[in-house]
Homo-oligomer: A and B are copies of this chain.
Amino acid sequence: MGIPERQVSSTASSRIYDTLRQDLINGRFTAGEKVAISALKERYAIGLSPLREALNRLAAHGLLIQENQRGFRVPSLERSELDDIAEMRRELEGMALERAIRLGDAEWESELLAAAHRLKRADMAPDKVEEWEHFHACFHRTLVAPCGSAWLLRFIAQLHDQFDRYRRMAPEAPEVRRVLDAQHGELVELALERDIKSARALMDDHIQRSYQVALQGVLSSA
């Protein structure tokens, strides 16, 4: 009753894919280590076939490295790669934000306000981090959603996954965190005012600061 929901059915493949994706982003695997497939099989209590299908997908997304006849490895964390990812985020999210501000309608404004509010209210306490991360990802996705390009959004999502691998590895930086949180609100304001130039500049600064935080993770573990 109620909603005639589609998408009720999932598969073991896609469930383990989601789980592994989260665990990879959250750094629950040591960077650079080889993935022991049969160990995963036990750890997640899943069959080999769906597991291997998920690993193949993750490799295609760049969250794993696949080498013929020798399985999968977790990509190592390299400063040069973080630089690349951050730089691409600046370029692509800047582009997307500009377009979103041009194309976004009233409905977008509402959803953006809602997403920002959810994020602001979310707690960052250790046991609530997952929830905060969810709202944070949602906010950034909503911000650029009406950019008009499915491919641009796809690339940005991929870059976020990569970036978060680094960010979550980094030590906390409360004072930067406060600035970043404030910027979320400011981004909404500028978006509503349709101030493209300032919004892009702020987004650039936002990513740059996040980058600085994430960088500590690479530097400390190197």
Contact = CB atoms under 8 A, between A and B. Distances in A.
Given A56-B57, A61-B60, A150 B11 contact: no
Interface in A189-208: none
A160 B161 CA distance: 23
Contact of A57 (B7, B49, B59, B95): B59
A55 to B, nearest CB: 9
> What is the oligomeric copy number?
2
Interface stretch (A37-45, A82-90, A103-111, A178-186): A82-90
Interface in A145-183: 148-152, 154-155, 159, 162
Interface size class of A (residues with CB under 8 A): 20 to 34
Contacts of A95: 91
Contacts of A60: 56-57, 60-61
A102 to B, nearest CB: 14
B149 A84 contact: yes
Interface string A3-24: 0000101110110000000000
Contacts of A154: 62
Interface string A41-73: 000000001001110110111100000110000
